[in-house]
């Protein structure tokens, strides 16, 4: 027997945390909520396997924290295990961004209220910064994951059918709706292949249907009480 290389251990552990497109979106949404975001945009390309982008207007990441922001087990949520008894955040393990870096190519663009401009960071598979450059985005953080499961061909093959890909989109949609209903002041927009899927704000949900579906349906509005239909 022999010990596995560190890179293999990181990949194996990360593949247990990041199992699907929806798991990436969930981790990034919860990071945004922990950062105090009131507006979150989720954009996918090719069902999320080419690109996942989650943009928020939260606090942003301080420049001093940037070098370790995606390194596993670095977190701003707790200092020791005693803090687990009084958790008020979704995340605390310091695993999410690091795990995503192991299974995708990751860029993080962020700006705090005290920054003069935003900075885009390109990360390697272990979450360390490869390069950085100024950016034009406003306050908040944008995480972009490219080529999801590029190094896990069996996992990627699992999502090779159109049905499984569409099921994944539905799971993302349901996840975003659940967060939107729990947090009525949160604005959420979900876009796939540059086409709007849903917009949710103050418990009002607008579902954008495809051109074919519009032949028989209008966009749906779901309010607090019951279900109503109204054109967009």
Which region, left, alpha or beta, applies to residue 46 given φ > 0 means left and ψ of -120 to 50 means alpha?
A: left
Domain that holds residue 231: 202-232
**53 and 107 together in one domain:** yes
* Rounded Cα distance, 34 and 59, in Å: 9
Q: Residue 102: give its domain's CATH number.
A: 3.30.565.10
pLDDT of residue 90: 58
Low-confidence ranges of the chain (pLDDT < 50): 78, 83-84, 92, 211-232
CB atoms within 10 A of CB 161: 10
**138 and 174 together in one domain:** yes
**127 and 66 together in one domain:** yes
**221 and 123 together in one domain:** no
Residue 149 makes CB contacts below 8 A (sequence gap 6+) with 49, 103, 104, 155, 156, 159
**167 and 76 together in one domain:** yes
Residue 195 included in any domain: no
Residue 138 makes CB contacts below 8 A (sequence gap 6+) with 57, 111, 118
Residue 1 included in any domain: no
Residue 126 included in any domain: yes
Residue for token pair 């010990």: 3
- Torsion sign (Cα): 196, 197, 200, 204: positive
For the chain, what is the domain count? 2
* Rounded Cα distance, 24 and 51, in Å: 11
Using alpha carbons, list the distances in angstroms from residue 180 to 18, 52, 205.
22, 19, 9
pLDDT in tens, 19-53: 899 999 999 999 999 999 999 999 999 999 999 99
pLDDT in tens, 90-99: 554 567 898 9
Residue for token pair 């999502």: 159
**26 and 140 together in one domain:** yes
pLDDT of residue 145: 98
pLDDT of residue 56: 97
**167 and 221 together in one domain:** no
Say how many CA atoms lie within 13 Å of 199 toward its Cβ.
6
Q: Is 225 helix (H, G, I), strand (E, B) or coil?
A: coil
Residue 197 included in any domain: no
Reading the block at residue 213, the tokens are 């579906």
* Rounded Cα distance, 169 and 67, in Å: 32
């Amino acid at each position: 027997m022999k010990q596995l290389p560190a890179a293999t251990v990181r990949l194996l552990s990360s593949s247990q945390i990041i199992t699907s497109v929806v798991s990436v979106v969930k981790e990034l949404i919860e990071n945004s909520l922990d950062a105090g975001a009131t507006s979150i945009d989720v954009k996918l390309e090719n069902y999320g396997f080419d690109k996942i982008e989650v943009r928020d207007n939260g606090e942003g990441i301080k420049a001093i924290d940037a070098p370790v922001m995606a390194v596993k087990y670095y977190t701003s949520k707790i200092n020791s295990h005693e803090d687990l008894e009084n958790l008020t955040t979704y995340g605390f393990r310091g695993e999410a961004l690091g795990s995503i870096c192991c299974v995708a190519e990751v860029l993080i663009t962020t700006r705090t209220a005290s920054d003069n401009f935003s900075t885009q960071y390109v990360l390697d598979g272990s979450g360390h910064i490869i390069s950085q450059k100024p950016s034009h985005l406003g306050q908040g953080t944008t995480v972009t994951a490219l080529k999801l499961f590029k190094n896990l061909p069996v996992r990627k093959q699992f999502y090779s059918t159109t049905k499984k890909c569409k099921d994944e989109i539905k799971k993302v949609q349901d996840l975003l709706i659940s967060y939107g209903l729990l947090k009525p002041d949160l604005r959420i927009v979900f876009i796939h292949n540059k086409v709007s899927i849903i917009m949710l704000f103050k418990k009002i949900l607008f579902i954008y249907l495809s051109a074919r579906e519009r032949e028989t349906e209008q966009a749906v509005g779901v309010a607090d009480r019951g279900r109503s239909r109204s054109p967009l």
